[in-house]
Chains A and B, each alone.
Chain A
Amino acid sequence: MTLTQEELRKLIVPLLAAMLFIGAGVFLVSSARETRARAQAELLAAQGEHRQNADRLARIAEEEREVTEKLDVYKQLKRLNILGEERRLEWADAVARIRNQRELLDLTYRVDRQKLVKSLPGKPGTIDFFASTMHVQLDLLHEGDLLRFLGDLRDSGNAYYAVKSCSMRRTGQAATGATITPRLRGSCEIDLITVVDRGAKR
């Protein structure tokens, strides 16, 4: 059946109405899908937060034990001034004091500029580990002098002393009766490590 022009004109309004219906339907579908996608995202976020909070709550006993245990170490680091900004003057004082106390013959040292070893993400701030390398050279009467020097340095605090290398070599100097002659020459390379907690309360 072929439609005339007049009959086709009669179909224009119904066609427009149908298109309006379809358009409204498509809009409904589109907005419903968007709404669902948003709701899905909200659910995922809520699930994530819920899981995190529930896990934290479940681990709270362990966390309490961990806090108690780690707090002792943390306080000790704080007390030894390992935690905090580095204290170069205190280091110089400590080396001078040890030399005097141990009556070491000759002692020279050099501390390099500080460098960042590691930066770890914490909440709220990062935990930064810094190291300053100290090069020490000292004359020894006996190898025990070197070990005592390192022990005294460790006990002086103000950093964690990580010894990287140490060497001892005979000086080859013959002993004279008048003066004390060093028999050994020691040299060490030590990392002076400090920790800065950016999230700590001031």
Chain B
Amino acid sequence: MARYLLYFTAEEHYLYASSGGRLKLEAQFPGDDAGVAQFREYLRRRKGALFGVLADLTGEDFQEEQIPLLRGTDREAVVQRRLTQRYRDTRLAAALSLGQVAAAQRKNERLLLASFTNTQQFVPWLDALEEAGARLAGVYSVPLLAPALAASLGVHRGRALVVSVNRAGLRQSFVEDGRLRFARLERTGEMAPQALALFIRSETLRLVQYLVTLRALPREGASLPVMVIAPRGERAVFEQALTPDARAAFRVVDAAEASAAAKLRKAPEGTAAEALYLHLAARKPPKNQFASSGERRRYFIWQLQRAVVAAGALGFAACALYAGTRAYEAHELRVRAAELALEGRNAAQRYQRITASFPVTETTTENLRVAVLEFRRLAEASAQPDPGLIHVSRVLERFPQMELDAVQWSVGRPGERGQFEARTPVAAPRSDQAVHIELSGRVNATQRGDYRGITAQVQALASALASNGYQLLRTQLPFDVTSEGTLTGDIGGRDSSEAPRFTIILARSLP
């Protein structure tokens, strides 16, 4: 969106349109009532346009003041009071902060109060803008833009004098640490370049002397850097005239070079150095300006509208950035997944090719494995009675007096047949399945009254059976000789014909 800038001089006013670093002269108005009327007519076709006023006048006042260091509304009130005290009409007055200064008791703030000696000349023009519904960005003066011009020419710190030949005259702005301290405008007529350069030299030296008098510059010290913007193609002539001096160190910058430094691409023919200030007022308007907040109300609303949309756009951009990173991550994940899927397919194809050469089976490899493994497990958990019975038979051959009535062989869990005998030193079964053998029999060829003999024989048999991997689970003797049982006897009675009976239970864990 183009910005319109009204270059306000004592005689004539020039309206420029600034867009994309290019300046275009839109119209030219005389400084009288006719000019105001023409301006009003022009504005009828520019409703809602962005406007700025750049004043380049001789009657601009600068006064340095100090106020207590305050913030917010207190500072605003003090500043307003100082402006009121200084100027009769404060409609176009500004207070530029020059930074803090430490006084004896408290901290103060240095201010540069600035205004125009004749503000009435602006009134019809500003009223015309107001009536046309234009958005007034601000009323600037050329000196307010001098720090920005100095910065674009490489002077960011220290003192410097920026001298330019404008349409309004010779403009000199004294800048210190990026802040305006003083400025003056000296009218120039039609002058030859050589004469103009000499005029600049003499005016500069006069101003330096004045600044020394004001104590804005030290009486003794290094020469003051002076940036002189020479009209196009006249740098050599200027350099010849502006030789270094003990008080001023001139540096001549060609207008074309200055335009490039300020990123001004194009300026209309016949425009002098004010084009630089106009461009800066459009591109990088200074915070300090002369218009009141009421006059800038439409501009503020426009800024608010833009800020709201910009906040939305910023939010969208942030979301888009976040979404972009997530989308990129998703893309990378998909690429990785595709690579893995391809590798997996290749592995599966290789597997198929290799398994195709395997022996032909009637089932799948998985079923083959499951069927055989489970069958083996089942077979290992089962047993045949042959080994157990053979073991019993071999042991009984050593005990001919023992006669078995019954043998019971079974497979089951070890606990199902009772606890191991406490006196049998055996390890716990490893498997949850075990072979159990229960033997029931009689002791022959021994007198029934021979308790000790019978008990010893049964225990000897039990011990012999508890071998070859078999463990003794329980032994039931013909007589209960344990402390927990009841021992009975019939001493002197007739011998019974029935042989004493015993029971032995063995177990063997399955692997």
Query: In the complex, A143→B392 CA distance in Å?
Result: 12
Name which of A49-57, A91-99, A107-115 contacts chain B. Answer: A49-57
- Give the CA-CA distance A68 to B363 in the complex, in Å: 13
Neighbouring B residues of A83 by C-beta, 8 Å: 371
Q: If the complex has contacts A29-B326, A35-B327, A35-B330, are A19 and B312 also in contact, measured as CB distance less than 8 A?
A: yes
| Selected A-B contacts with CB under 8 Å, 11 pairs | A7-B301, A17-B312, A24-B316, A25-B318, A42-B333, A42-B334, A46-B341, A67-B361, A73-B372, A165-B411, A197-B363
Note all chain A residues with C-beta closer than 8 A to B265.
none
Q: How far is the CA of A53 from the CA of B362 in the complex (A)?
A: 23
| Residue A116 lies at the interface, judged by CB distance under 8 Å to chain B | no
B344 touches A46 (CB 8 A): yes
Closest B-chain residue to A69, C-beta based?
A: B372
Chain A 105-148 interface residues, beta-carbon cutoff 8 Å to B: 118, 120-125, 127, 129, 143, 146-147
Q: Are A122 and B370 in contact (CB under 8 A)?
A: yes
Asked if A103 CB lies within 8 Å of chain B CBs, one says no
| Minimal beta-carbon separation of A19 from chain B (angstroms) | 7
Q: In the assembled complex, which residues on chain A have CB atoms less than 8 Å from the CB atom of B305? A: 10-11, 13-14
What residues on A are CB-neighbors of B406 within 8 Å? Answer: 167-170
Cβ-closest chain B residue relative to A59? B351
Q: How far is the CB of B274 from chain A (nearest CB, A)?
A: 33
Is B348 part of the binding interface, using a Cβ–Cβ cutoff of 8 Å? yes
**Complex CA–CA separation, A195 to B374 (angstroms):** 10
A88 contacts the other chain (CB 8 A)? no
Residues 33-54 of chain A, each 1 if its beta carbon lies under 8 Å from chain B, else 0: 1011011101101110110111
A72 to chain B, nearest CB (A): 9
Which B312-342 residues have a C-beta within 8 angstroms of A?
Answer: 312-313, 315-320, 322-324, 326-327, 329-331, 333-334, 336-338, 340-341
Binds A, one of B65-73, B172-180, B378-386: B378-386
Give chain B residues whose Cβ lies under 8 Å from the Cβ of A162.
Answer: 378-379, 382, 411
Instruction: Knowing A36-B326, A77-B371 are in contact, say whether A21-B378 is a contact too (CB < 8 A).
Output: no
Cβ of B210 under 8 Å from chain A: no
- The one of A13, A29, A70, A160 in contact with B369, judged by C-beta atoms closer than 8 angstroms, is A70
A58–B300 CA distance with the chains assembled, in angstroms: 73
A150 touches B384 (CB 8 A): yes
Evaluate contact between B364 and A163: CB separation under 8 angstroms: no
A35 to chain B: closest residue by CB: B330
Main secondary structure of the interface of B (DSSP, over half): helix
From B334, B354, B364, B408, A165 is in contact (CB under 8 Å) with B408
B316 touches A25 (CB 8 A): yes
* Chain B interface residue count, Cβ-Cβ cutoff 8 angstroms: 76
Assess the A47–B340 pair: CB atoms within 8 A: yes
Residues of A contacting B329 in the complex (Cβ-Cβ under 8 angstroms): 36, 39
- Interface assignment of B121: CB less than 8 Å from any CB of chain A: no
B345 partner residues in chain A, CB cutoff 8 A: 53
Q: Tell me the smallest distance from the CB of A136 to a CB of chain B, in Å.
A: 12
| CB-CB under 8 A for A201 and B369, given A17-B309, A32-B326, A165-B408 | no
Given contacts A29-B326, A129-B374, 18 further A-B contacts (CB under 8 A): A1-B300, A3-B301, A14-B305, A14-B308, A17-B309, A18-B312, A31-B323, A50-B343, A67-B361, A70-B368, A71-B368, A74-B371, A127-B374, A129-B378, A165-B409, A166-B410, A168-B407, A195-B371
User: Using a CB–CB distance below 8 Å, which chain A residues touch chain B?
Assistant: 1, 3, 7, 10-11, 13-15, 17-22, 24-26, 28-29, 31-33, 35-36, 38-40, 42-43, 45-47, 49-50, 52-54, 56-57, 60, 63-64, 66-68, 70-71, 73-74, 77-78, 82-83, 118, 120-125, 127, 129, 143, 146-147, 150-151, 154, 160, 162-170, 191, 193, 195, 197, 199-201
Which B residues are in CB contact (< 8 Å) with A13? 305
Question: Do residues A127 and B334 form an inter-chain contact, with CB atoms below 8 A?
Answer: no
Chain A residues near B19 (CB-CB < 8 A):
none
B359 interface residue (CB < 8 Å to A): yes
Is the CB–CB distance between B344 and A50 below 8 Å?
yes
Provide the bound-state CA to CA distance between A11 and B374, in Å: 79
Chain A, residue nearest B341 (CB): A46
Is B365's CB within 8 Å of the partner chain A? yes
What are the residues of chain A within 8 A of B316 when measuring CB–CB? Answer: 21-22, 24-25, 28
Across-interface contacts of A68 in B (CB, < 8 A) = 358-359
Residue of B nearest to A22 (CB): B315
List residues of chain A with CB within 8 A of the CB of B318: 25
Chain B residues close to A by CB (< 8 Å): 293, 300-301, 304-306, 308-309, 311-313, 315-320, 322-324, 326-327, 329-331, 333-334, 336-338, 340-341, 343-345, 347-348, 350-351, 354-355, 358-359, 361-376, 378-379, 382-386, 389, 393, 405-412
List B contacts of A28 (CB < 8 A). 316, 319-320, 323
Q: Is the CB of B326 within 8 A of A200?
A: no
Contacting residues, chain B, for A7 (C-beta < 8 A): 301
Contacting pair A120 B334 (CB below 8 A): no
Q: Inside 8 A of A166's CB, which chain B residues have their CB?
A: 385, 408-410
Query: Known contacts A74-B372, A150-B385, A166-B410: does B362 contact A200 (CB below 8 Å)?
Result: yes
Q: A14-B308, A160-B379 are in contact. Are A123 and B367 (CB under 8 A)?
A: yes
Contact B351 A53 (CB under 8 A): yes
**Contact: A197 with B367, CB < 8 Å?**
yes
Q: How far is the CB of B301 from chain A (nearest CB, A)?
A: 5
Q: Which residue of A lies closest to B436 (CB)?
A: A165
The verdict on A127 contacting B312 (CB below 8 Å), with A42-B337, A73-B375 known, is no
Instruction: Check B409 against A39 for contact (C-beta < 8 Å).
Output: no
**Contacting residues, chain A, for B367 (C-beta < 8 A):** 122-125, 127, 197, 199-200
Other-chain contact of B323, A21, A29, A151 (Cβ < 8 Å): A29
A49–B385 Cα distance when bound, in Å, is 49
The 3 closest A-B pairs by CB, nearest first: A18-B312, A25-B319, A21-B312
| Cα A10 to Cα B323 with chains together (Å) | 32
Q: Do B361 and A74 touch (CB < 8 A)?
A: yes
Collect the chain A residues with CB atoms within 8 Å of residue B385's CB: 146-147, 150, 163, 166
Q: Report the minimal beta-carbon distance from A11 to chain B, rounded to whole angstroms.
A: 6
Task: Give the contacting residue for A50; candidates B311, B341, B354, B364; CB below 8 A.
Answer: B341
For residue B346, give the distance in angstroms from its CB to the closest CB of chain A. 8
Bound: A43/B333 CA distance, A: 6
A residues near B351, Cβ cutoff 8 Å: 53, 56-57, 60
Question: With A and B bound together, what is the CA distance between A121 and B324 in angstroms?
Answer: 46
